[in-house]
Amino acid sequence: MLEICKEFGTPLYVYDAEKITKQIQSLKNAFSDSDLKIKYAAKALTNISVLKHIQQQGCGIDVVSINEAKLAIKAGFKAEDILFTPSCVDFNEIVEGVDMGVYINLDNLSVLEKFGKKYGNTYPCCIRLNPHILAGGNYKISTGHGNSKFGISVFQMPQIIEVVNKYKIEINGLHIHTGSEISETDVYLKMSEILFGVARDFPALKFIDFGSGFKVAYKENDMVTNIYDLGLKLGKAFRDFYESYGRKLELWIEPGKYLVSEAGYLFVTTNVVKSTPSVTFVGVNSGLNHLIRPMMYDAHHEIVNVSNPVGGQKVYTVVGNICETDTFGSDRKLNEVREGDILALMNAGAYGYSMASTFNSRLRPAEVLIKGGKAILIRQRDTFDDLLRGQMEID
Ligand SMILES: *Cc1c(COP(=O)(O)O)cnc(C)c1O
């Protein structure tokens, strides 16, 4: 890895394609008794080469904006592999999705009404339900509770049915995504009961989509989603359901983090080691502009000193170079850090680069994909010109 940093410089995002493949395979194995369709949640990491790799593994894709849909098409996904799950977007964006021929997932009654009025029974859609379940690692990433903006409340089922009947809308799927970082299999089973309970009102279903939120370990002994347990139990509940429904259906899931988080690293270089009477800070050449999860979600990312793997251990607080508190990790035991040392922030594949910005007029990092044993540049580092691109200079 040090070689790669030397070749491409830091800060640098590096992704391991093989790890992504392994994660996909583990889902396929866990759900081997079901007609599983994996729809990768693109927003976790949208580099075109990563999307291509995931497409090559036979996955579909879940997109949340029309631009993500366009990126997916560019990466080789077919329209029928794409599920568009927008939230509070302009209706024209949904029309564009229909024109592209992708699956449409609607999450509020007003849009369902507009959709019915425009398309009647000529274009099917999926309904995103809000199950009123609070689950997930952090309130900001919980989407399935009653006060969340996502989904149509299951308590509004009568209104949904009314709109569907009024316009004869063909409902081809039902969807729930309760949020991120859900380790309990029971949450998914509870969701499935809700979905199976309402599914009988929709005779034209093709699939049921259980969303994602599969949790990976960010530190040792972290609770994770037991994918095998989930595949076994959810798979069985699903089969029991569709036998009584009368027809076999596809089981869809939308993993983002599960596919790409552990495959990614953010490599940074130590600019300064600064001791105060109480804390020893390690200041690195990156910050919340490149990886915002620690500040935004109190996320824990393991930090490793790759330049000094056998140095004696000391306690450090690792911070960025942004004029804003941007602590990557407090009171971390690291092998002795010297100025110039390269540190790795682990599990940085998901919601790392895709949430990066140019805050403080700093440049976004380059991205490298390790594939077939080779480290390949898949995005150039920003340049100064990128900061000015599109700006108009007036007197
Ligand atoms: C973000 C998102 C996902 C992915 O969630 P992860 O926790 O990254 O797996 C799946 N489905 C929808 C609709 C999402 O918005």
**186/297 same-domain check:** no
Q: Is 5 a catalytic residue?
A: no
**217/193 same-domain check:** yes
**312/236 same-domain check:** no
Q: Please give the pLDDT value at position 141.
A: 56
Whether residue 66 is contained in a domain is answered as yes
Whether residue 100 is contained in a domain is answered as yes
Where residue 367 sits, what CATH number does that domain have? 2.40.37.10
Q: Please give the pLDDT value at position 132.
A: 85
**195/318 same-domain check:** no
Whether residue 78 is contained in a domain is answered as yes
pTM for this model (two decimals): 0.95
Whether residue 44 has its Cβ less than 6 Å from ligand 1? yes
**6/137 same-domain check:** no
Residue whose entry in the numeric block shows the structure tokens 């859609």: 125
What are the tokens at 5?
A: 């940093």
**305/370 same-domain check:** yes
Banded model confidence at residue 239, pLDDT cuts 50, 70, 90 = very high
* Alpha-carbon gap, residue 213 to 261, rounded angstroms: 12
Last residue of a domain, one of 209, 236, 260: 260
**69/175 same-domain check:** yes
**300/205 same-domain check:** no
Whether residue 395 is contained in a domain is answered as no
Whether residue 394 is contained in a domain is answered as no
Instruction: Judge contact between 231 and 187, C-beta under 8 A.
Output: no
Whether residue 254 has its Cβ less than 6 Å from ligand 1? yes
Whether residue 257 has its Cβ less than 6 Å from ligand 1? yes
**157/303 same-domain check:** no
Contacts of 13 (CB under 8 A, 6+ apart): 264, 265, 266, 267, 348, 349, 352, 353, 365, 366, 367, 368
Whether residue 156 is contained in a domain is answered as yes
Whether residue 23 is contained in a domain is answered as no
Q: Which domain holds residue 66?
A: 31-260
User: Which atom of ligand 1 lies closest to the CA of 257?
Assistant: 8
Q: What is the rounded average pLDDT for all residues in the chain?
A: 94
Last residue of a domain, one of 230, 260, 290: 260
Q: Which residues pair with 274 in a beta bridge?
A: 281
Output the CA 92–ligand 1 centroid distance in Å.
23
Q: What is the mean pLDDT of residues 320-337?
A: 97
Where residue 62 sits, what CATH number does that domain have? 3.20.20.10
Instruction: Output the DSSP codes for 82-131.
Output: EEE--SS--HHHHHHHHHHT-EEEE--HHHHHHHHHHHTTSS-EEEEEE-
Banded model confidence at residue 138, pLDDT cuts 50, 70, 90 = low
Whether residue 41 has its Cβ less than 6 Å from ligand 1? yes
Whether residue 213 has its Cβ less than 6 Å from ligand 1? yes
Last residue of a domain, one of 260, 279, 306: 260
Is pLDDT above 70 for 96?
yes
Q: What is the mean pLDDT of residues 85-105?
A: 97
What is the number of structural domains in the chain? Answer: 2
**312/193 same-domain check:** no
CA-nearest residue, atom 4 of ligand 1: 256
From 5, 88, 125, 323, the catalytic residue:
323
Output the CA 158–ligand 1 centroid distance in Å.
27
Instruction: Judge contact between 46 and 354, C-beta under 8 A.
Output: yes
**Which of 38-52, 140-154, 214-228, 345-359 has the least mean pLDDT?**
140-154
Q: What is the mean pLDDT of residues 123-150?
A: 76
Whether residue 85 has its Cβ less than 6 Å from ligand 1? yes
* Alpha-carbon gap, residue 200 to 181, rounded angstroms: 29
* Alpha-carbon gap, residue 309 to 393, rounded angstroms: 49
Is pLDDT above 60 for 31?
yes
Distance of CA 120 to the CA centre of its chain: 32
**227/329 same-domain check:** no
Whether residue 24 is contained in a domain is answered as no
**273/163 same-domain check:** no
Is pLDDT above 70 for 142?
no
Q: What type of residue sits at position 300? A: H
What are the tokens at 317?
A: 């607080």
Is pLDDT above 90 for 187?
no
Output the CA 179–ligand 1 centroid distance in Å.
7
Banded model confidence at residue 147, pLDDT cuts 50, 70, 90 = confident
Calculate what percentage of the chain has a pLDDT beyond 70: 96
Q: What is the mean pLDDT of residues 221-248?
A: 92
305, containing H or E segment: strand 303-305
Q: What is the mean pLDDT of residues 254-277?
A: 97
